[in-house]
Structure 1
């Protein structure tokens, strides 16, 4: 029987800001695409898209706050 290494990987936060920025950009693109899709959607579909976009906007805000926190952490503020 082989023995598994149970050590966790060290927390590499060096690229978190860049990853978060990319996630924000992707989410914004999804939000914009959904706005375009909504032009051709029925009533129920529009409602579902609006709800999803609301969650996307909340996610964008949360990610932007996390970017600020990560930046402060990396720069010792």
Structure 2
């Protein structure tokens, strides 16, 4: 039986990954807004609610980017 040692925590590219996630989420918001032109009133309400959650996620990711950037400056300690 072999034992796998856990991989060390590699945070070196977390900032970039989070920035990509923010960009992708913003693109999803833009695409959803574009589809509202063709949506029923019920669908529009769903899109608006989902976009609100996306905006909240973006704020959380931006905060995490700041934390990760500070950790990078401090040598991930």
Same fold (TM over 0.5): yes
Give the secondary structure class of the aligned counterpart of 2:9.
coil
Picking from 39, 45, 50, the partner of 1:52 is 50
* TM-score, length basis structure 1: 0.91
RMSD: 1.4
Indicate whether 1:74 and 2:72 are aligned: yes
Q: Deviations over 1:33-64 (max 9, x none)?
A: 00001111001100110110000000000000
Match of 2:35 in 1: 37
4+ runs deviating over 4 angstroms: none
1:4 Cα shift? 4.0
Unaligned runs of 5+ in 1: none
Picking from 1, 4, 10, the partner of 2:8 is 10
Unaligned runs of 5+ in 2: none
